[in-house]
Structure 1
Amino acid sequence: MRMSENHLLLNSLRSIARIGETTLVLAAAGIRYANQKPPTSLLVRETFEKLGATYIKLGQFIASSPSLFPREYVEEFQGCLDQTTPIPFSEIQALLVDEFDRPLTEIFSHIEQKPLASASIAQVHAATLVTGEDVVIKVQKPGVETILHTDLGFVHFATKLLERFVPKLKFASLAAIVNEIKIRMVREVDFIEEAQNILDFQHFLEKTNNTQVVVPKVYAKASTRRVLTMERFYGVSMTNIDAMKQYTKDPAQALITAMNTWFASLMLCKSFHADLHAGNLMLLTDGRVGFIDFGIVGQLKPEVWQASISFMQALQTTNYALMAENMVSMGMTHAKVDLKVLQADIEKMFQTLLMADPQKIISGETGDLNTLLMDMVQVGERHGIRFPSDFALLMKQMLYFDRFMQVLTPHMDLFGDARLQLVADVEPVSKLIH
């Protein structure tokens, strides 16, 4: 009981300290704005980065949500990186001791003190279980959850003030946006939910007899809400084509395998991997494709997914009239849409995609994709169409695959030749489950 009281007291002190820290950073930002008048979007991004974990994640949410935020903010927050200075191993070790009800030596025979990665929410360390398996431990940084809830409460309060004093604010439905952010961020600090996302995907792979793709095994007895212990994968990132050739004769086929798996998961899995950039795809030393990092997942209603697939098929044949019809179907609108005008707008919009430099996409310069997505959202808004919040995640992933394929196999096109096989693979399954 005393430990519980001490824990509550510590969390309360952290919350008070966090509110004070936030107030000071915001005050400094206000003084800077008054004296220097920098662009608002730039000032907000730099302020968010100073405020740390919660606000960095908020910035990334803004960057990936052109359907919810103004263009200048989406563009500015593309530079909001989630890379932080590692915290001392002693703090990580103390948290691990606090999480498990038995000595760490009964779980791990060795833990590397130097982290493999350090982000705002968690830090990752290589380790070996006492049973001999090589693993990675994803450890939530101390105090992150308390800071998260404190910050979200502050954001909610600020939202109410903005709605009251800035009625013409460009952001639509602020309360709904804050609620969406809260849901996603609370899920991201719950490693039990991330473990379940991995297990759901594993069941999907087993159900479809897919042996070419694998996700890391979760060691439940060495995992908690704040610690996630997973099988360690050995291989190379699918950003490195030359390195991939060590383990496969055909890097393009590895990508097609990953894409076919991801497309099928949209229909057959409870959620889809919503952050499957090349850094989260690995070609393993045995030639299989590894999907990692299931902290961010998306969900779409069946009718939205069906409209999305039809939209992509229409794009495959450059049938802009059919694209317009499906854009209306996947969006949320009660207004009457002039399909001919929408068709003309879509055709003009997709010239951006045709002119995009695929090499920039592979190197992480995703401005072209975000521009296209924002154009699509703006076209929709002009016609009274508002897309589901996870639609941008879906489209961005499809477009990312398209540009990635153009680098690996320039003679094929996700929206052309390659799409024929992808659609043929997933369409019959779609008819069975809907």
Structure 2
Amino acid sequence: MKKNILVDSLRSVARMGETAVVAAKAGYKYATVKPSNAKLMRETFEELGSTYIKLGQFIASTPSLFPREFVEEFQGCLDQTPKLPFSYIEEVLQQEFADRNLHDIFASIEEIPLASASIAQVHAAKLVSGEDVVIKVQKPGVETILYTDLNVLHWATKVLEKVVPKVKFASLADIVEEIKTRMVREVDFIEEAQNIDDFVEYLNVTQNRAATAPKVYHQYSTRRVLTMQRLYGVPLTDFDVVKHYAKDPSQVLITAMNTWFGSLMMCKSFHADLHAGNLMLLEDGRVGFIDFGIVGQLNPEVWTACMAFMDALQHTNYDAMAESMLKMGMTKTSVDTTVLAKDIERLFSGVILTDPQKILSSNPADLNDIMLDIVAIGERHGIHFPRDFALLFKQMLYFDRFMRVLAPYVDIYADQRLKMVQDVDVPLLKH
């Protein structure tokens, strides 16, 4: 125990030194090259690694808290990191299963990883009982680095608030606390395992046989190691490959979207990171949902209000859009919906003149701009959107990209097969 404490302390000291060096380099670059503030911050965050990459992604997905230029710049903050040698991964496995022999659990583990991100590395393996699995292994020192970085950030925000009193109005300390809450949840694989179990329960309760998620082997999982069933399939971004497994690629996408929309209404949390690597078409034709490390939480009422807003948008009913926006967010003051409706009308007038039916089919950059503008209007009227509203919209952008691959000539949002708001006739799993 004392050895572990000493190692963690040394890692913390080393991390603070590394952070100081990178910050000094950024300062020199700012003085000489003079890049934009947003670009310099993104490049610095990527060099600092896991915690700051996650912070950058938080900035990119939270337009209600950060300036537009930073939100747009951090859209490119990538989570892929260099692969670690298998010896490091093996060391973590031996630490987590110290009371057992690894050979009694795994018949084999592939040394070349399937994927490597800032927090964890994923390896294929086979259990001694014969099942093919994947092992998500937390990288050594990640949790120590996380807490060290967040403590430094918290200290820095406190100092900044004292030096620049106006900053207090930005609630920077509260933002750091929110980031800490999200990140700590992401490095706890026990919680991720629970997210998967909740989703599987939702599929079972709704008798959804068209989608699935990996089985979790809880007896071989810990806070730092997650062992799951290996699903075999292809990502939904290669039309030719998808066509090989499914006669109608658009139906595959609709199945994925209906399953996800249903989870918004019924699950304790929703999958908030369904990019191409986390949504698969399996060999048996089912849609596979994987990697539940990043999830959001949303009241069914908020999602219903979102759908009402989109419906009002399609019918250019600005008064209804204003009313829906009030239900989507929280406000401490009374809002004049007539004035709000006028502001929304000014925002969308140029878009509507082209073709209102194409708004939801705009390219992701345009949709992101619309999202930022909606949030800005809401903020001006004292409306504060739920903290996971941005995660919700980010996922809609991901679906937009899938549409362009799997259904380029189909208006998915007008398709009768799509059920964005579903009748809840089974017990809710949220409680």
Amino acid in structure 2 at the alignment position of 1:224: T
Match of 2:294 among 293, 296, 299: 296
Alpha-carbon distance in structure 1 between the residues aligned to 2:5 and 2:234: 43
Residues 61 and 131 of structure 1, relative CA distance in 2, 3 Å threshold: same
Deviations 1:96-142 (A, max 9, x none): 11110211111111111111111110111111111111111110000
Q: How does 1:174-185 map to 2 (within 5 A)?
A: 174-185=172-183
Q: 1:328: how far off?
A: 1.3
Alpha-carbon distance in structure 2 between the residues aligned to 1:430 and 1:169: 47
Q: 1:171: how far off?
A: 7.7
In the other structure, the counterpart of 1:427 is: 423
| Count of aligned pairs | 424
Amino acid in structure 1 at the alignment position of 2:131: E
In the other structure, the counterpart of 2:28 is: 31
Q: 1:377: how far off?
A: 0.9
Amino acid in structure 1 at the alignment position of 2:36: P
Task: Kindly indicate whether the alpha-carbon contact (under 8 Å) linking 2:265 and 2:424 is maintained by their aligned counterparts in 1.
Answer: no
Residues 414 and 168 of structure 1, relative CA distance in 2, 3 Å threshold: farther
Q: How does 1:353-392 map to 2 (within 5 A)?
A: 366-392=364-390
In the other structure, the counterpart of 1:252 is: 250
In the other structure, the counterpart of 2:329 is: 331
Worse-matched range after superposition: 328-337 or 291-300: 328-337
Residues 137 and 70 of structure 1, relative CA distance in 2, 3 Å threshold: same
Q: 1:404: how far off?
A: 3.3
With normalisation by structure 1, the TM-score equals 0.91
Amino acid in structure 2 at the alignment position of 1:60: Q
Deviations 1:11-63 (A, max 9, x none): 01111111111111112212222333321111111111111110011111111
Task: Kindly indicate whether the alpha-carbon contact (under 8 Å) linking 1:192 and 1:225 is maintained by their aligned counterparts in 2.
Answer: yes
Q: How does 1:30-429 map to 2 (within 5 A)?
A: 30-100=27-97, 101-169=99-167, 172-350=170-348, 351=351, 366-402=364-400, 404-405=402-403, 407-410=405-408, 412-418=410-416, 421-423=418-420, 426-429=422-425
Worse-matched range after superposition: 398-407 or 264-273: 398-407
Match of 2:11 among 14, 23, 30: 14
Alpha-carbon distance in structure 2 between the residues aligned to 1:394 and 1:232: 27
Alpha-carbon distance in structure 2 between the residues aligned to 1:326 and 1:133: 49
Amino acid in structure 2 at the alignment position of 1:408: L
Alpha-carbon distance in structure 2 between the residues aligned to 1:26 and 1:170: 23
Q: 1:249: how far off?
A: 0.4
Task: Kindly indicate whether the alpha-carbon contact (under 8 Å) linking 1:402 and 1:415 is maintained by their aligned counterparts in 2.
Answer: no
SS in structure 1 of the partner of residue 43 of structure 2: helix
Deviations 1:221-270 (A, max 9, x none): 21111111111111110111111111110111111111111111112111
- Percent of counterpart pairs with the same letter? 65
Q: 1:433: how far off?
A: 9.0
Alpha-carbon distance in structure 2 between the residues aligned to 1:62 and 1:28: 22
Alpha-carbon distance in structure 1 between the residues aligned to 2:390 and 2:297: 11
Alpha-carbon distance in structure 1 between the residues aligned to 2:204 and 2:429: 17
Amino acid in structure 2 at the alignment position of 1:63: A
SS in structure 2 of the partner of residue 210 of structure 1: coil
Give the alignment's Cα RMSD to 1 decimal.
2.5
Q: 1:77: how far off?
A: 0.7
Alpha-carbon distance in structure 2 between the residues aligned to 1:64 and 1:126: 31
Alpha-carbon distance in structure 2 between the residues aligned to 1:103 and 1:349: 63
Alpha-carbon distance in structure 2 between the residues aligned to 1:34 and 1:25: 14
Give structure 2 stretches of 5+ with no counterpart. Answer: none
With normalisation by structure 2, the TM-score equals 0.92
Q: 1:78: how far off?
A: 1.1
Alpha-carbon distance in structure 2 between the residues aligned to 1:170 and 1:160: 9
SS in structure 1 of the partner of residue 165 of structure 2: coil
Task: Kindly indicate whether the alpha-carbon contact (under 8 Å) linking 1:406 and 1:413 is maintained by their aligned counterparts in 2.
Answer: no
Amino acid in structure 2 at the alignment position of 1:51: L
Amino acid in structure 1 at the alignment position of 2:59: I
SS in structure 2 of the partner of residue 115 of structure 1: coil
Amino acid in structure 1 at the alignment position of 2:47: K
Alpha-carbon distance in structure 1 between the residues aligned to 2:338 and 2:110: 61
Alpha-carbon distance in structure 1 between the residues aligned to 2:314 and 2:357: 13
Amino acid in structure 2 at the alignment position of 1:10: V
Residues 416 and 315 of structure 1, relative CA distance in 2, 3 Å threshold: farther
SS in structure 1 of the partner of residue 51 of structure 2: helix
Q: 1:410: how far off?
A: 4.5
SS in structure 1 of the partner of residue 134 of structure 2: strand
Task: Kindly indicate whether the alpha-carbon contact (under 8 Å) linking 2:264 and 2:300 is maintained by their aligned counterparts in 1.
Answer: no
Residues 35 and 399 of structure 1, relative CA distance in 2, 3 Å threshold: closer
Alpha-carbon distance in structure 2 between the residues aligned to 1:254 and 1:143: 40
Alpha-carbon distance in structure 2 between the residues aligned to 1:18 and 1:349: 46
Give structure 1 stretches of 5+ with no counterpart. Answer: none
Worse-matched range after superposition: 158-167 or 280-289: 158-167
Alpha-carbon distance in structure 2 between the residues aligned to 1:372 and 1:173: 25
